[in-house]
Chain A
Amino acid sequence: MATVDMAGIRKTFGPSVALEDFSLSIASGELVCLLGPSGCGKTTALRILAGFERPDAGTVVVEGRDLSNDPPEKRQFGMVFQDYSLFPNMTARQNIDFGLKVQKRSAAERKEIIDRMIAVTALEPHADKFPHQMSGGQKQRVALARAIATSPKVLLLDEPLSALDAKVRETLRDEIRRLQLEIGVTTVFVTHDQHEALAIADRVGVMSNGRLEQLAPPRELYENPANAFVASFIGTVNKLPAEGLDDGRWRVLGRSVLSTVTAAPGATNVAAVRPEQVAVDHADDGTAHVQSASFLGPITRVIADDDTLGRVIADIISADAVGISPGQRVRLRLRDDVSDIVLIGEE
């Protein structure tokens, strides 16, 4: 268990800048997800933390100790890779034992730890199997058990679920979170899957082009995105014009709402409006017409084409969507319970 402080990290590979002024502070026992499209620098950040890459500038401090110049084998971290990286010549049990042997623990202690690891990852039936005899999910559970067996200060997960199929991915995701909370290890989880990140992280760091755009708890990230990139990367947004009113409020989709930015009369801005904040009313004189209405169970996703705003996506409760069908004229408005709105500046 340890705090992690990465400060002012810069890393270039030849002419391309992988990380620029990257800083990240993680509390002890916290799970932080680094989320972003491929090439955003999230894996580079993780590899610098692990010690596999040396930053051009900046420091890595763990538990108050500067590790910037320590090689990976001196950092006492646990790491799980996307491609399992189990030793093919060793059984699950021997894989878990590897790090313990390196740490020169006693035989009795090793056996006790291995048994416990196998129990917590539910690997009992597979303990004496070789990697090529196991499924992807089982292999990744062995890799996880192996990484935490050595009681690492920090657990690093590099897209651990990306190679697995959807169902296993979800189960293992929850299992990772449960284990992480149980042993309370500080964890950095790199992923490009926003659902994964939002589901298990204490805080999510959204990255793009080598920069940390926003670091916040999942809910805040969704409800209060710091900028246009975060708004459109997390979930779906409609970017709609906002017009400043005399009383400092903004007019969006015909309704006057508040924002953290006070409006100057006549100012213009762009509001990030979530699909679930948009209501759709039948109106023969409406300015929009329905392009499609997809029933998704509890909600129905309506895509409408507005004469002036263009394409707008609305998620409405399925019960309210009865009778809405493609081709109809409709009026779009903000739902009545929306009182304030996120502005993301001019596009």
Chain B
Amino acid sequence: MTSQSRFRPANIVKWVFLIAVGLYFFLPMAAMARFGFQSVPTALLTPDKLFTGWSFSGLWTAITDAHMVSGMKTSLILVVLAILLNLVLLVPLAIVTEVRNPRLRPYLTALTLLPWVIPPIALVVGVAATFRATVPWFLASVLSLVPFYALWSMPFTYRALDAGLQAINARTLYEASRSMGASFWTIIFRVLLPNMRASMVAASTLTAAMVLGEFAFASLLLKNTLPTEMVIYQAKNPRGGLAFAIFIMVLTAVAIGLVVRSLRRQGINFNATGI
């Protein structure tokens, strides 16, 4: 690239735009991090105090808080169960649709988008009314969130699985296996599932990220999950609460990065899984 083309007006606009968006995105987070990890009140922050008073003490108080610990435990259990329920429901559905009834695929794609069209409040009110009248004990348990979370992350999960099936050309693999005499179950367990590992990991990562950040359902159903505990905790310890929020964000980013890297190492392209 010559120096002339580098300073073309279009390029300048592009950089200005990128920097503006970057600032819009990162400035609040940087401010959050400063507030969370530096014990200097904002009003007293002068250039000479920029590097004093940094510590993890706020984060540590938050992490060791009994309510936060119990919220974390609950949320991790919910993550695991929501992932399992989602995979158990959607993997067979996606496979059967793709290899046996490809004509149903557009309908299923539209159907799995429904959870995003229906607002959580409507979903909760409707479902809660039904359950309260029929199986009230179900709503009493914190596990009653699992079906909501599975449903709510379905648009991500189904898309990731479907993209994975398209990427491996599942229909041709299915036909090739059949022409070699393989039974339906052999094809599922020996051919399709092993090759869907990447998309299942992608689907699970998305479900986990969604469950760890979900507030509306938990709050409406009066359950104490990590996000609801965080809101409560932030009210009594703003510094620790924000430090914890930054911590969770970094943790999630690192986790997703590690998953992508391990998949790349196995020669699996994460882009092909729909993310």
Q: What is the interface size of chain A, counting residues whose CB is below 8 A from a CB of the partner?
A: 28
Is A85's CB under 8 angstroms from B173's CB? yes
Residue B216 at the chain A interface, CB threshold 8 Å: no
Of B172, B173, B178, the residue contacting A72 (CB under 8 A) is B178
User: How many angstroms from the CA of A92 to the CA of B183 in the assembled complex?
Assistant: 21
Of A79, A102, A103, the residue contacting B175 (CB under 8 A) is A79
Minimum C-beta distance from A85 to chain B (A)? 4
User: How many angstroms from the CA of A83 to the CA of B169 in the assembled complex?
Assistant: 9
Minimum C-beta distance from A154 to chain B (A)? 10
Is A78's CB under 8 angstroms from B267's CB? no
Is B180's CB under 8 angstroms from A150's CB? yes
Minimum C-beta distance from A130 to chain B (A)? 7
Please report which residues of chain B, range 177-205, place their CB below 8 angstroms from some CB of chain A when the two chains form the complex. Answer: 177-183, 186, 190-191, 194-195
Using Cβ atoms and an 8 Å threshold, which residues of chain A touch B21?
none
Minimum C-beta distance from B183 to chain A (A)? 7
Minimum C-beta distance from B99 to chain A (A)? 11
Is A72's CB under 8 angstroms from B191's CB? no
Is A52's CB under 8 angstroms from B181's CB? no
User: How many angstroms from the CA of A39 to the CA of B172 in the assembled complex?
Assistant: 19
User: How many angstroms from the CA of A73 to the CA of B187 in the assembled complex?
Assistant: 11
Residue B168 at the chain A interface, CB threshold 8 Å: yes
Whose C-beta in chain B lies nearest to the C-beta of A104? B181
Using Cβ atoms and an 8 Å threshold, which residues of chain A touch B172?
81, 83, 85
Is A73's CB under 8 angstroms from B173's CB? no
Is B181's CB under 8 angstroms from A99's CB? yes
Whose C-beta in chain B lies nearest to the C-beta of A156? B179
Known: A81-B175, A85-B169, A85-B172. A103 touches B181 (CB 8 A): yes
Residue B250 at the chain A interface, CB threshold 8 Å: no
Known: A130-B267, A132-B267. A88 touches B178 (CB 8 A): no
Is B267's CB under 8 angstroms from A77's CB? no
Residue A89 at the chain B interface, CB threshold 8 Å: yes
Using Cβ atoms and an 8 Å threshold, which residues of chain B touch A83?
169, 172
Please report which residues of chain A, range 117-157, place their CB below 8 angstroms from some CB of chain B when the two chains form the complex. Answer: 130, 132, 143, 146-147, 150, 156
Whose C-beta in chain B lies nearest to the C-beta of A143? B176
Known: A83-B172, A130-B267. A78 touches B186 (CB 8 A): no
Is B179's CB under 8 angstroms from A102's CB? no
Residue A233 at the chain B interface, CB threshold 8 Å: no
Of A72, A88, A103, A132, the residue contacting B179 (CB under 8 A) is A72
User: How many angstroms from the CA of A138 to the CA of B168 in the assembled complex?
Assistant: 18
B62-92, CB under 8 A of A: which get 1 and which 0? Answer: 0000000000000000000000000000000
A34-55, CB under 8 A of B: which get 1 and which 0? Answer: 0000000000000000101000
Residue A98 at the chain B interface, CB threshold 8 Å: yes
Please report which residues of chain B, range 7-24, place their CB below 8 angstroms from some CB of chain A when the two chains form the complex. Answer: none
Residue A229 at the chain B interface, CB threshold 8 Å: no
Whose C-beta in chain A lies nearest to the C-beta of B180? A99
Whose C-beta in chain A lies nearest to the C-beta of B191? A87
User: How many angstroms from the CA of A150 to the CA of B180 in the assembled complex?
Assistant: 7
Minimum C-beta distance from A77 to chain B (A)? 6
Is A72's CB under 8 angstroms from B168's CB? no
Please report which residues of chain A, range 60-80, place their CB below 8 angstroms from some CB of chain B when the two chains form the complex. Answer: 71-79
Whose C-beta in chain A lies nearest to the C-beta of B190? A98
Using Cβ atoms and an 8 Å threshold, which residues of chain B touch A88?
168, 195
Is A71's CB under 8 angstroms from B178's CB? yes
Using Cβ atoms and an 8 Å threshold, which residues of chain B touch A73?
178-183
Using Cβ atoms and an 8 Å threshold, which residues of chain A touch B181?
73-74, 76, 99, 102-103, 150
Is A98's CB under 8 angstroms from B175's CB? no
User: How many angstroms from the CA of A87 to the CA of B186 in the assembled complex?
Assistant: 13
Whose C-beta in chain A lies nearest to the C-beta of B171? A85
B143-175, CB under 8 A of A: which get 1 and which 0? Answer: 000000000000000000000000011001101
Of B168, B179, B191, the residue contacting A78 (CB under 8 A) is B179
Using Cβ atoms and an 8 Å threshold, which residues of chain A touch B186?
102
Using Cβ atoms and an 8 Å threshold, which residues of chain B touch A89?
191, 194-195
User: How many angstroms from the CA of A53 to the CA of B190 in the assembled complex?
Assistant: 24
User: How many angstroms from the CA of A147 to the CA of B182 in the assembled complex?
Assistant: 13
User: How many angstroms from the CA of A275 to the CA of B161 in the assembled complex?
Assistant: 55
Minimum C-beta distance from B262 to chain A (A)? 16
User: How many angstroms from the CA of A85 to the CA of B176 in the assembled complex?
Assistant: 7
Using Cβ atoms and an 8 Å threshold, which residues of chain B touch A76?
181
Is A87's CB under 8 angstroms from B183's CB? no
Minimum C-beta distance from A316 to chain B (A)? 47
Using Cβ atoms and an 8 Å threshold, which residues of chain A touch B267?
130, 132
Minimum C-beta distance from B226 to chain A (A)? 36
Known: A88-B195, A130-B267. A77 touches B182 (CB 8 A): no
Minimum C-beta distance from A15 to chain B (A)? 15
User: How many angstroms from the CA of A98 to the CA of B174 in the assembled complex?
Assistant: 13
Is A87's CB under 8 angstroms from B195's CB? yes
Known: A85-B172, A85-B173. A102 touches B182 (CB 8 A): yes
Whose C-beta in chain A lies nearest to the C-beta of B182? A102
Minimum C-beta distance from B168 to chain A (A)? 6
Minimum C-beta distance from B102 to chain A (A)? 12
Of A71, A132, A146, the residue contacting B180 (CB under 8 A) is A146
Task: Known A-B contacts: A72-B178, A78-B180. Give 10 more (CB < 8 A).
Answer: A52-B178, A73-B178, A77-B179, A78-B179, A83-B169, A85-B175, A87-B195, A98-B177, A146-B180, A147-B180
A interface residues with partner B (beta carbon < 8 Å): 50, 52, 71-79, 81, 83, 85, 87-89, 98-99, 102-103, 130, 132, 143, 146-147, 150, 156
> What are 6 of the A-B contact pairs (CB < 8 Å)?
A50-B175, A74-B181, A88-B168, A98-B190, A143-B176, A150-B181
- Which 6 pairs across A and B sit closest by C-beta, in order of nearness? A99-B180, A79-B179, A85-B176, A85-B172, A72-B178, A89-B194
